[in-house]
Amino acid sequence: METANHLEDRLAIAALFARLAHLLDDQAFEGAAAVFTEDVTARSPRAELHGRDALVDFMRRSRVEGEFTQHMHTDPLVDLEPEGAQGDQPADRAKASVNSLVRYYREGEPPHRTSGLRLQYFAVRTPQGWRFAEGRTTLLWTRED
């Protein structure tokens, strides 16, 4: 039976995806510590990165001058570990995924590109709360508008 604590954990982990979207869209990379562990591993079609500093550096270098993004995450799935985290047993790790739609645009203009992604992460409970420790971004499709 799932407890209120397990539901709170699921909501907190799902909220990490929202924080990630805002971090990327606002280019507020100083907020990465609220989303990722210091030793995060991230894999994407363009890179495999080890450590939060390397990930933030990659995000900064990936910016295109004058281009903005809007990330929309849907269909969050969160599986708590230990498997099912039953009763009073707290979860300390979770597998989580979302589908992501990313619109690329220039200020005052409609989007010129749209991409569909799948984000798959492992989150861990830290003293500061849940954080992503490992993740994979898979590009599913891209459309040039």
pLDDT tens digits for 23-80? 999 999 999 999 999 999 999 999 999 999 999 999 999 999 999 999 999 999 999 9
140 in Cβ contact with 116 (< 8 Å): yes
Q: pTM for this structure?
A: 0.91
Contact 84, 65 (CB under 8 A): no
Query: Residue 88: which pLDDT band, with cuts at 50, 70 and 90?
Result: low
pLDDT at position 100 over 70: yes
Give the CA dihedral 141, 121, 13, 4, nearest 10 degrees: 120
Q: What is the 3-state secondary structure (H, E, C) of 59-119?
A: HHHHCCCCCEEEEEEEEEEEEEECCCCCCCCCCCEEEEEEEEEEEEECCCCCCCEEEEEEE
Tokens of 106: 């220039």
CA distance 24 to 20: 6
| Cα 77 to Cα 10, 87, 107, 140, 142, distances in angstroms | 9, 20, 33, 18, 23
Instruction: Catalogue all structural domains in the chain, each as residue range(s) with its CATH number.
Output: 4-144 (3.10.450.50)
80 neighbors 9 (Cβ within 8 angstroms): yes
**What DSSP character marks residue 37?**
E
What distances in angstroms separate CA 10 from CA 5, 16, 47, 136, one per listed residue?
A: 9, 10, 28, 19
